[in-house]
Amino acid sequence: MIATTNKPQLTVPGPPSSPLFGNLIQMFKFVDDSISLSRQLFQNYGSVVSLLAGGGTNIYSPHLNCPGTVLAYGADIVREVTSKHDIYHKCPLTRDLYRKRNNSLRTQPFQHFLVGLFGVNGGEHRQHRQLLMPAFHKQRIESYRDDMVALTDSELDRLKVGEEVDILELMRRLTMRIATKTLFGKDFSEEGDTFTRLLKQVGAQMGNPALSLLPFDFPGLPFHRLLNSVGELDQELRNVIQRKRAQGIDGGDVLSMLIQARDAESGVTLTDDELLGHVGVIYVAGHDTSANALTWTLFLLSQHPEIAADLLDELDSVLHGEAPTLEQLQQLPLLERVIKESMRVLSPVPWNGRVISQATSLGGYDLPEGTEVFVSIYQTHHSPEIYSQPERFHPQRWETIEPTMYEYNPFSAGSRICIGAGFAMMEIKIILAMLLMRYRLQLINKNPIHPKGLIVMSPRNGLPMLVYQQDRQFAQGVGGVRGSVREMVDLPQL
């Protein structure tokens, strides 16, 4: 915990604060549409910029002494931040809620809720990551292939030709089912039980801006309702852990393996609280991130008919309408390029947030201890010095380029690279292959498409599409896209 109480001013350039509302307007703008705001700031001030001149903002850090928020991008910045682990610390995804973890008995679940690997640094992070690694070994990940196929089949069977579907919600439901099955060994969504209800409930409540404005545990207030839901979810998860501990076997799921994980040298195992933190983060990372990557990929394919046609040719020639085997997944180079390019152009995780544990410099600017730094994965992926025509969706570029992990890092980089990256790529490939061979999804231009989000980037109003049997009429529904997404990727004209 950073203990400094003074808040030195940032010397990094940035826009002045509002004379009437101080830093609140800029913080709200960033949380609401971080991509558009940061793009403008980078254009005005360069590759390292303060959210507000002098600082005074706090978006991510749970520490009270945060001097301000610095945004930065570029391969050199990524290398600096992801390599100096003792300086650039991660923090729990709950942000200011983590600060309230010791306020009362009801806030105690915030000590571990969505903490996991994000809440440990230094030697503790290395030890925890070592304990988690076997659960994400290549062989272990590949053992989940059959579950992914079965659950994808189950969701595709529910689709009806001619119906309108919100693809974002469909992908969230499918990846949630895959996450719960592989993580806990049970498809909770089959029964629509308490666990599934609580997961959705907590997810929705966490996004309520009133939590920061009215952080009081009084009946009727959003914070009170969130504490109720988190407490109930915490107990449900503890019950699952207790049952699996009692069984004492590796049931093939991630949680079973984590319960049995033991440090080879010290004999240390994960406590129940640590397990709760890890499974929560693994669930979120393995669910929402993949859902958004799938959603944006399907959107891009809907607007690039030649690429969609070429991809279907590859899928048909290798798979012949069947779900891909592990061997066949390696025989689909265009599928991999499409996914990599989609995650470059519309990064499902647009930012890599860190908090500085000691004074340092970044991009030529001195940063005081406690400063929060957001490294823009999105903006780095749109650097013209790395990628020619960066706003163009061009999967073929991956035939000739090999960017470093600092130039292309949808799963972060360095020793904190996403532990579930291999899992996510296999999941996305299987779902896309099975869906595209069976159906053609045609974009409905109901609402403007405005990407939003800080931890993950989603279309603000979902992504409605019409479901057709795969008829190869890829030119249908192309064009007419409105919204800020047009500033992020080259699309057919209106």
Distance CA 431, CA 429 (A): 6
Does residue 269 fall inside a structural domain? Answer: yes
Does residue 130 fall inside a structural domain? Answer: no
Does residue 220 fall inside a structural domain? Answer: yes
Q: Give alpha helix (H) positions in 52-111.
A: 75-83
pLDDT digits (tens, 9 = 90+) for 350-392: 999 999 999 999 999 999 999 999 999 999 999 999 999 999 9
C-beta of residue 302 within 8 angstroms of C-beta of residue 443: yes
Does residue 117 fall inside a structural domain? Answer: no
* 332 backbone φψ class: left, alpha, beta (φ>0; ψ -120 to 50): beta
Does residue 40 fall inside a structural domain? Answer: no
Q: Give alpha helix (H) positions in 119-158.
A: 122-132, 138-142, 145-158
Does residue 82 fall inside a structural domain? Answer: no
Distance CA 46, CA 33 (A): 19
C-beta of residue 348 within 8 angstroms of C-beta of residue 355: no
pLDDT confidence tier of residue 202, bands split at 50, 70 and 90? confident
Does residue 104 fall inside a structural domain? Answer: no
pLDDT confidence tier of residue 35, bands split at 50, 70 and 90? very high
More confident residue, 210 or 241: 241
pLDDT digits (tens, 9 = 90+) for 243-286: 999 988 888 899 999 999 888 888 889 999 999 999 988 888 77
Structural domain of residue 213, as residue ranges?
Answer: 138-348+389-487
Distance from the Cα of residue 257 to its chain's centroid = 24
Q: 245 is written with which tokens?
A: 């501990």
String of DSSP letters for 288-335: HHHHHHHHHHHHHHHT-HHHHHHHHHHHHHHHTTSPPPHHHHTT-HHH
Count of structural domains within the chain = 1
Distance CA 287, CA 431 (A): 13
**192 pLDDT above the threshold of 60:** no
* pLDDT recorded at residue 39: 95
pLDDT digits (tens, 9 = 90+) for 66-80: 999 999 999 999 999
**1 pLDDT above the threshold of 80:** no
* pLDDT recorded at residue 187: 80
Beta strands in 14-121 (DSSP E): 48-50, 69-72, 88-89
pLDDT digits (tens, 9 = 90+) for 87-128: 999 999 888 889 899 999 999 999 999 898 888 899 889 999
Which residues are bridge partners to 441 per DSSP? Answer: 467
pLDDT digits (tens, 9 = 90+) for 120-162: 899 889 999 999 998 899 999 999 999 999 999 999 999 999 9
Strand duo 48-50 + 439-443: pairing = unpaired
Which residues are bridge partners to 262 per DSSP? Answer: 269
Read off the CATH number of the domain in which 148 is found: 1.10.630.10
pLDDT digits (tens, 9 = 90+) for 414-453: 888 999 999 999 999 999 999 999 999 999 998 999 999 8
String of DSSP letters for 342-405: HHHHT-SS-EEEEEESS-EEETTEEE-TT-EEEEEHHHHHT-TTTSSSTTS--GGGGGT----T
Which candidate, 471, 391, 456, 384, places its Cα nearest to that of 418?
456
**188 pLDDT above the threshold of 80:** no
More confident residue, 291 or 284: 291
Does residue 147 fall inside a structural domain? Answer: yes
**191 pLDDT above the threshold of 80:** no
pLDDT confidence tier of residue 3, bands split at 50, 70 and 90? very low
* pLDDT recorded at residue 248: 83
* pLDDT recorded at residue 193: 66
Least confident window among 173-182, 206-215, 226-235: 206-215
